[in-house]
Amino acid sequence: MVKASICTIGDEILIGQIVDTNSSHISLALENCGVQVTRMISIPDDHADIITSLARELDSNDIVISTGGLGPTKDDITKNALAELFGAKGWKTHEGQLRIVHEILHSRGLDVLDINLKQAEVPDCCEVIENHHGTAPIMIFTRPDGHKLYSLPGVPHEALGALDEVLADIKKHFKLDSIYHKTIMVYGFAESALSQLIEPWEDSLKSLGIHLAYLPNTSTGIRLRLSLFGGEESANALKVEKALSGLREILGDNIYSEQDETLESVIGRLLRGSGKTLSAAESCTGGMISHMITTVPGSSEYYLGSVTSYAIAVKEKVLGVPSETIEANGVVSSEVAAAMAEGVRKLTGSTYAVSTTGLAGPGGDERNPEGTVWIGVSGPHGTITKRFQYHNDRKRNIERFAASALDLLRRYILNDKQ
Amino acid sequence: MVKASICTIGDEILIGQIVDTNSSHISLALENCGVQVTRMISIPDDHADIITSLARELDSNDIVISTGGLGPTKDDITKNALAELFGAKGWKTHEGQLRIVHEILHSRGLDVLDINLKQAEVPDCCEVIENHHGTAPIMIFTRPDGHKLYSLPGVPHEALGALDEVLADIKKHFKLDSIYHKTIMVYGFAESALSQLIEPWEDSLKSLGIHLAYLPNTSTGIRLRLSLFGGEESANALKVEKALSGLREILGDNIYSEQDETLESVIGRLLRGSGKTLSAAESCTGGMISHMITTVPGSSEYYLGSVTSYAIAVKEKVLGVPSETIEANGVVSSEVAAAMAEGVRKLTGSTYAVSTTGLAGPGGDERNPEGTVWIGVSGPHGTITKRFQYHNDRKRNIERFAASALDLLRRYILNDKQ
């Protein structure tokens, strides 16, 4: 299998001020076209370290993808190190990238500074892929042994914007093995409970040569990834389909997608084109459900809006929750969750509405511990509520509450469709 | 300087299905107590690779911190590799951790499974720090040369929950150099424009021995980090304070904090204890502003709530935006932004209100290109609006819109206080 290493260059990563999100996107893309990522490393903006580390990674991998160290406020330290590593004789200006530098800065009403112009200069021994999302070009260096280094900018949308062209170049120069992946999205289990439940099924995968990975995430539940290496795509697809029928029997509608999708995308898929609409009433989730729903492009077709009723007065006045309901049951209660969902449904005229009232923390109240949430869903066939209890910090509790609300909404809509 | 390497173990990172956020938190914590992070690596769940890679990192660093590979669904591959690497003679059960395993599972109403019990077993040559946030213990191994390896769980809140105790152990065993950091948060500039503006000031830092790092982020603007290595803390603080007076003259209220804070935390700080309150009316930001405001613990003291008016009918009916205003100016306009802010302020009775109406994309409309947003802020001294134009994808445009809205709100409140 063709092997790759991903190298992130930049002091800002090593001093912990930014999280490297490029590496995971790049490795996912490489994996999906049959390149095995053997290692990721992050190294400082240090000339000698860049040369030593990249040379070592190039020795043990066919491909090295580096990101970072190309920004206008850096001293072009990566570019100089690469020039030395690959024995450049001099520098050349890439005219295509120079045009892009001018275009980008003009479109933003900015002056073209000397530091911007310098970005279109590259070592004379490299090939260039134009970067249409930013000013620094993508550089390709090839060693005499055929091993290749791709140097990408560190800014995520620039690095990822160039990825398709980088992958095309990789496919042109390397013979890649086939790989077959299938992703199943599951909501409603802790990792260890799911593992216990599907253990016999998991054991049966070995004879089929299928490898299983568990990938839990606060906002999307557990992602199960089935992988087959080598072989024909159609035969692999058949094998996986055979295995999946067993899993579907065990998990039923706890499986919310058989693609790599989020809960909010699935809700979008259920509602789009149906003429049905959605609204939300949020207390403890503070706008996160609405934010998640509206990250989906085209959500304006079915999403009408929401009320975040952080204050009790907003619950009463805007959503019409009766003050007696709050007094009798407390703010965090099934009754208030139901009244909030019904209130926002009436206010917006939506087909469905989802609501949350809970305690994200820090701290609980006299009736409920920290981490308690009541979720309501209201629709044409009445209102349901459900209580969940989580044990995380404020940020993660909010994420769990929002994801559980979207999952309860999904189950209601699914049920409604039958 | 004491050197450290951070090693993340897990196939799920190399296949790109999860982003490693532990490393940045750990490196920030190490840096802040004077440990230099020289490298971060991510390696697969492979026995031989774990042993080779960790041994190499231990050769060139005083400290190695590893995370991952300890979960209940793994085959304890990290633990076995560590036992071999450090020459363990056998296994021991850690009674404290065993109690925690029982407590955690009982509190969640789960059965204690064999795979859970096995988590309290550790190689006999290691010390243990109890993990109170999860079932896998933190293990400390020491080589004859004094170099130490700390093995943490991969689950972020477990790894970070144990960090204080790990740092205490590091401080006990290593003599750490002093390091002085000061963080300045700036909003309203592109990185290259800010760099150009403060270039003469930046040059003057060299004579003071101060190192400057630029750390741009969509939601927080640009973080400037000034660092001094060695020396007395009080002398370093004086040097940095002297340098800062020059920066304050150049940037004025574009500096929104002199600590490592977010815009929403600063707004919280301005409003807390003032008796003033806040609400929001969101269209294109879809709930993100409200979500950001409510991530701040204690925000319920000043935050009343919000309306996400994704549909025009909600803008008119709930926020009271006159339909003539929308017809005459279009939804994405100064007039609608103003009416939304005034509408939600009236609806909730808040002191201040912030609003957004724009086009996050994909696609613009007949009046405005994709990436346009009008932001409104209303308060006791009237309503202001401002137009911004960004050039990113949907997700990043929403982040930019929300951050720019919080910044305009911050400037309004500051102005009001004077």
Cβ-defined contact of B41 to A37 (cutoff 8 Å): no
In this predicted structure, what is the pLDDT of residue A215? 77
Contacts of A215 in chain B (CB under 8 A): 12, 17-18
Cβ-defined contact of A287 to B308 (cutoff 8 Å): yes
| Smallest Cα distance from A336 to chain B, Å | 16
Residue A389 has pLDDT above 90, yes or no: yes
At which residue do the structure tokens 């795979």 appear? B115
Residue A18 has pLDDT above 80, yes or no: no
In this predicted structure, what is the pLDDT of residue B178? 82
Domain B263-417 has CATH 3.90.950.20: yes
| Smallest Cα distance from A117 to chain B, Å | 12
Chain B residue at shortest CA distance from A223: B17
Chain B residue at shortest CA distance from A107: B391
Mutate to test the interface with B, among A1, A3, A13, A15 (most CBs of B within 10 A): A15
Cβ-defined contact of B291 to A291 (cutoff 8 Å): yes
Which residue numbers in chain B have pLDDT < 50? Answer: none
Q: What percent of chain B has pLDDT over 90?
A: 73
Read off the tokens for A309. Answer: 């009723």
Residue A2 has pLDDT above 80, yes or no: yes
Question: Is residue B166 a contact partner of residue B65, using CB atoms and an 8 Å limit?
Answer: yes
Cβ-defined contact of B15 to A26 (cutoff 8 Å): no
Chain A residue at shortest CA distance from B294: A286
pLDDT tens per residue, range A285-341: 999 999 999 999 999 999 999 999 999 999 999 999 999 999 999 999 999 999 999
Closest Cβ–Cβ partner in B72, B293, B294 for A195: B72
Residues ≥6 apart with Cβ < 8 Å to A141: A82, A85, A86, A123, A125, A126, A148, A149, A151
Tell me the pLDDT of chain A averaged across its residues.
Answer: 92
Quickly name the fold that domain A179-257 has.
Alpha-Beta Plaits (3.30.70)
Mutate to test the interface with B, among A290, A359, A387 (most CBs of B within 10 A): A290
Cβ-defined contact of A108 to B191 (cutoff 8 Å): no
Give me the DSSP letters along A126-178.
Answer: -EEE--TTSSSPEEEEE-TTS-EEEEE-SSHHHHHHTHHHHHHHHHHHS-PPP
Read off the tokens for B371. Answer: 């990436």
Mutate to test the interface with B, among A49, A74, A310, A389 (most CBs of B within 10 A): A310
At which residue do the structure tokens 């996050």 appear? B360
pLDDT tens per residue, range B217-257: 889 999 898 989 888 889 999 999 999 999 999 999 999 99
Mutate to test the interface with A, among B290, B331, B394 (most CBs of A within 10 A): B290
Closest Cβ–Cβ partner in A41, A282, A299 for B40: A41
Other C-beta atoms lying within 10 Å of the C-beta of residue B2: 17
CA–centroid distance for A89 within its chain: 42
In this predicted structure, what is the pLDDT of residue A52? 95
3-state secondary structure of A257: strand
What are the backbone dihedrals phi and psi of residue B408, each rounded to the nearest 5 degrees, phi first?
-65, -40
Cβ-defined contact of A191 to B107 (cutoff 8 Å): no
| Smallest Cα distance from B360 to chain A, Å | 9
Question: Is residue A9 a contact partner of residue A78, using CB atoms and an 8 Å limit?
Answer: yes
In this predicted structure, what is the pLDDT of residue A73? 59
| Smallest Cα distance from B332 to chain A, Å | 15
Residue A17 has pLDDT above 80, yes or no: no
pLDDT tens per residue, range A212-258: 887 778 899 998 989 898 888 899 999 999 999 999 999 999 999 99
Sign of the C-alpha dihedral computed for residues B397, B400, B406 and B410 taken in this order: negative
Chain A residue at shortest CA distance from B300: A310
Cβ-defined contact of B14 to A28 (cutoff 8 Å): no
Highest mean pLDDT among A103-107, A180-184, A348-352: A348-352
With vertex at residue B400, the alpha carbon angle to CA B31 and CA B271, rounded to the nearest 5 degrees, is: 75
Q: What percent of chain A has pLDDT over 70?
A: 98
Read off the tokens for B271. Answer: 């409003």
Residue A370 has pLDDT above 80, yes or no: yes
Distance CA A226, CA B153 (A): 24
Distance CA B249, CA B241 (A): 13
In this predicted structure, what is the pLDDT of residue A72? 60
Please state the rounded mean pLDDT for residues A270-297: 97
Cβ-defined contact of A313 to B349 (cutoff 8 Å): yes
At which residue do the structure tokens 């290691």 appear? B126
In this predicted structure, what is the pLDDT of residue A217? 82
What is the helix (H) or strand (E) element at residue B403, kind and residue range?
Answer: helix B394-417
Contacts 24+ apart (CB under 8 A), A311-318: A311/B300, A311/B303, A311/B304, A311/B305, A311/B348, A313/B304, A313/B348, A313/B349, A314/B304, A314/B305, A314/B348, A315/A283, A315/A340, A315/A343, A317/B347, A318/A343, A318/A347, A318/B305, A318/B307, A318/B318, A318/B347, A318/B348
Every domain of chain A and the residues it spans: 3-173, 179-257, 263-417
Residue A36 has pLDDT above 80, yes or no: yes
In this predicted structure, what is the pLDDT of residue A413? 97
Contacts of B361 in chain A (CB under 8 A): 297
Question: Is residue A358 a contact partner of residue A332, using CB atoms and an 8 Å limit?
Answer: yes
Closest Cβ–Cβ partner in B18, B306, B394 for A215: B18
In this predicted structure, what is the pLDDT of residue B74? 53
| Smallest Cα distance from B285 to chain A, Å | 7
Among the listed residues A212, A187, A185, A184, the one whose alpha carbon sits nearest the alpha carbon of residue A200? A212
In this predicted structure, what is the pLDDT of residue A3? 96
Cβ-defined contact of B313 to A391 (cutoff 8 Å): no
Residue A120 has pLDDT above 80, yes or no: yes
Closest Cβ–Cβ partner in B24, B291, B317 for A19: B24
Chain A residue at shortest CA distance from B291: A287
Amino acid found at B398: I
Cβ-defined contact of B19 to A24 (cutoff 8 Å): yes
Cβ-defined contact of B307 to A309 (cutoff 8 Å): no
Contacts of B215 in chain A (CB under 8 A): 12, 17-18
Cβ-defined contact of B290 to A304 (cutoff 8 Å): no
Cβ-defined contact of A40 to B38 (cutoff 8 Å): no
In this predicted structure, what is the pLDDT of residue B73? 59
Q: What's the predicted TM-score (pTM) here?
A: 0.84
Quote ipTM for the complex.
0.83
In this predicted structure, what is the pLDDT of residue B71? 64
Quickly name the fold that domain B3-173 has.
Molybdenum Cofactor Biosythetic Enzyme; Chain A (3.40.980)
